[in-house]
Amino acid sequence: MEMCKIMCRGYRFAGVHCGLKAAPKLDLGVIMSDRSAAAAALFTTNRFPAAPVIAGRRQLAAGGPVRLVVVNSGNANACTGEEGIAAVRRIAAAAGAVFDVPAAAVFVGSTGVIGEPLPVARLESGLPAAREALAEDGLDAFSRAIMTTDSHPKVAAGMVEIAGHRVGVLGIAKGAGMIEPHMATMLAYLLTDADVASPRLDPLLRRVAANSFNRITVDGDTSTNDTVLLLANGASGCRPETAAELALLEAELERVAGELARMIVADGEGATKTVTVAVRGAADAADAERVARTVSRSLLVKTAWFGEDANWGRIIAAVGNAGVAVEPAAVRIFLDDVLVVDGGRRAPDYREEDGTMVFRRPAYTVAVEIGAGPGTFSVLAADLSYDYVRINADYRT
């Protein structure tokens, strides 16, 4: 955490208990930029977006800077109607007053149980303590304050040299269930001290998310609150101008986002395995993506991963269910370097014990070769265990 603080300048953090969760659990987190930060965000594609998502879309569309991020856990403020929107406005106004920033520069996020009114007064009561706790080394407290079913905080950081400047990148995320977004992840905050205007940040963030957060799945569900926010405050004094300079920043952001994405899958609710489903040789990238997502979402495949049962029939059946034109005689399937299926049937030299040894590993790759063209796509997925059912059956109790 100390290294993360040093790497990305001009940001301070806090995490406190405000009463949304049982004491002493942290449930209110704050990120403050010491200067106005350009912002870009991606939000859930769920048709029931939470109030903070609706408000955040409007805020980003207005194009103003962000100085303060306020996030609560324990309550999603989702499916709460106009009351929920009013709660977001009230939080922004209260936080603006406490932290001495314009309410329009306060970005609000929530995560937790859907459908319950947000106890705004509790959040308001916690804001002065958050202001008091605000510090460069408050990152650990912030990352814990935004957790729900996560077993641990998720933080990644890096640094890249651009035009003679050392530019920092920092990422904080939460998420362990309801993970397969199409535009974002559960909640993720990417920060940089580079100076980049919002119109340039938006396409950059879309590419970063496409290669990280949008290539993971735990359970195939998209939350009402999924948000990725990217802030650039310019504290490094570096303003990437050329395509090459922006590419350096993008690569580091993608690396940090990729680390967070892997942490989310590894910490998936009840997860015991992280499996890369890599599809090669599809007619095009779209077909490859359909196959990869179908295999990685299959409950039968995911339970086989958990049970360490190298039942390749489940994998090939999922490939055939993807809605993609496939010539069975051209299909090959590998478990890491073990050829399991060749020509759409069991490989002649395949031994069950070899496949089982792969399935016993904590991380491995299922590679599917279609033999129809140049299309490739990969997804990082979790298995489905008894604990996933237990966690979600008991989530509200």
Tell me which residues are annotated as active site. 185
For residues 181 and 223, is the Cβ–Cβ distance under 8 A? yes
**Collapsed DSSP state (helix, strand, coil) of residue 335:** strand
Q: Is 379 left (phi over 0), alpha (psi -120 to 50) or beta?
A: beta
**Collapsed DSSP state (helix, strand, coil) of residue 197:** coil
Q: Where are the strands (E) in 149-213, listed by range?
A: 154-162, 165-174, 187-192
Interacting residues of 383 by C-beta distance below 8 A, sequence separation 6+? 271, 272, 273, 275, 302, 303, 305, 306
Q: Do β-strands 165-174 and 187-192 pair in parallel, antiparallel, or remain unpaired?
A: antiparallel
**Collapsed DSSP state (helix, strand, coil) of residue 196:** coil
d(CA 359, CA 380): 15
Question: Position of tokens 């991380």?
Answer: 363
Q: In the chain, count of helices (H) and strands (E)? A: 12, 15
Residue 313 is classified by DSSP as H
**In whole angstroms, what separates CA 80 from the centre of its chain?**
24
Interacting residues of 266 by C-beta distance below 8 A, sequence separation 6+? 274, 382
For residues 131 and 99, is the Cβ–Cβ distance under 8 A? yes
**Collapsed DSSP state (helix, strand, coil) of residue 368:** strand
Shortest CA distance to 204 belongs to which of 215, 221, 219, 192? 192
